[in-house]
Amino acid sequence: MKIKTITCKRVLNLRNYESRHVEMFAEILEGEDPDIEASRLIEKVERKAMEHVELEIEATDLKEEIADLKNELARLEKQKAALTEKETDPDDIPFKSGEAPDSSVSPDNF
């Protein structure tokens, strides 16, 4: 069997249902070793597939972090609104008379 063309395809999962496809074809010329040319093509496809992938994954991670922080901010704003909604009346103090109980007296049978 004489090999005339070779193909290499690489699919990288970028997460979040995204992927990157790199596919290359090469024609084997007379006198070239198909195994050597296949290895060269594989190396080239791998190099091309990995270009910028790390940055794309990092960007995806940062987008997820931003979304999480926005959700946390919204939750904290709701919590703040609930806490500030019921402000106490400064004139509504339970012991207005100013008399404190005598704490020096011990209870009976103590």
Domain ranges of the chain: 1-51, 52-83
pLDDT of the residue at 87:
63
Angle in degrees, 0-180, between the axes of helices 34-50 and 53-85, rounded to the nearest 10 = 30
CA 73/CA 81 separation, integer angstroms: 12
pLDDT of the residue at 35:
92
pLDDT of the residue at 110:
59
- What are the tens digits of pLDDT across the range 41-74? 999 998 888 887 778 788 888 999 999 999 999 9
Report how far Cα 13 is from the mean position of its chain's Cα atoms: 15
Reported as a pLDDT band with limits 50, 70 and 90, residue 98 is low
- What are the tens digits of pLDDT across the range 4-47? 899 999 998 877 788 888 899 999 998 999 999 999 999 999 88
Q: What is the mean pLDDT of residues 75-102?
A: 74
CA 75/CA 4 separation, integer angstroms: 62
CA 29/CA 32 separation, integer angstroms: 6
CA 26/CA 41 separation, integer angstroms: 7
